[in-house]
Amino acid sequence: MIFIFRKTITAVAFSRDGKYLATGESGHLPSVRVWSMEDPTNPQVSEMAKGHKHGVACVAFSPNLKYLVSVGYQHDMLINIWNWKDGSKAACNKVSTKVFAICFSETANFFVTCGIRHVKFWYFDTETNKSKHNKTLPIMGRSALLGELRNNAFCDVACGTGENSDYTYCVTNSGMLCSFGAKRVLDKWVELRASKAQCIAVSEKYIFCGCTDGIIRVFNPSTLEFVNTLPKPHFLGVNIADGIDPSHLIPKTGNVSYADTVALALDTCNYRLTCVYNDHSLYVWDLKDIKKIGKIWSSLYHSACVWGVEVYPEVSDNKHAALPPGTFLTCSADDTVRVWNVVEEWLDSGPELRDSGSDFLIIKLITLCSSSPASKNVNDVSSDGRTGVRTICASPDGQTLAVGDRSGNVRYHPIYWLL
Indicate the class that CATH gives domain 2-305. mainly beta
State which of 145-149, 234-238, 300-304 shows the largest mean pLDDT. 145-149
pLDDT value of residue 418: 62
pLDDT value of residue 375: 34
- The pLDDT of 226-245, averaged and rounded, is 79
Q: How confident is the model at residue 119 (pLDDT cuts 50, 70, 90)?
A: very high
Whole-number Å distance between alpha carbons of 147 and 167? 16
Q: What percent of the chain has pLDDT over 90?
A: 58
Phi-psi region for residue 193, left (φ > 0), alpha (ψ -120 to 50) or beta? left
Residues of the chain with CATH 2.130.10.10: 2-305
Q: Comparing 121 with 372, which gets the higher pLDDT?
A: 121
Strands (E) across 44-124 are located at 44-48, 56-61, 68-72, 78-83, 88-94, 99-104, 110-115, 118-123
Cβ neighbours for 79, distance < 8 A, ≥ 6 positions apart: 69, 70, 71, 72, 92, 93, 94, 95, 99, 113, 122, 139
Q: What is the mean pLDDT of the chain?
A: 85
What are the residues facing 300 on neighbouring strands?
281
pLDDT value of residue 236: 83
Please give the helix or strand (H or E) that residue 347 lies within, else none.
Answer: helix 344-347
Quick check: pTM over 0.75?
A: yes
171, 198 Cβ separation under 8 angstroms: yes
Q: How confident is the model at residue 265 (pLDDT cuts 50, 70, 90)?
A: very high
- Taking only the tens place, the pLDDT of each residue in 296-337 is 988 888 888 899 999 999 887 767 788 888 889 998 888 888
Whole-number Å distance between alpha carbons of 264 and 201? 6
Least-confidence region, from 25-39, 266-280, 355-369, 394-408:
355-369
Q: Comparing 247 with 319, which gets the higher pLDDT?
A: 319
369, 389 Cβ separation under 8 angstroms: no
Whole-number Å distance between alpha carbons of 69 and 71? 7
In this predicted structure, the answer to whether residue 414 has a pLDDT above a threshold of 90 is no
Whole-number Å distance between alpha carbons of 329 and 103? 41
- The pLDDT of 36-64, averaged and rounded, is 91
- Taking only the tens place, the pLDDT of each residue in 355-413 is 444 545 554 556 554 433 333 444 444 445 566 789 999 999 888 999 998 888 898 88
- Taking only the tens place, the pLDDT of each residue in 178-218 is 999 999 999 999 999 999 999 999 999 999 999 999 999 99
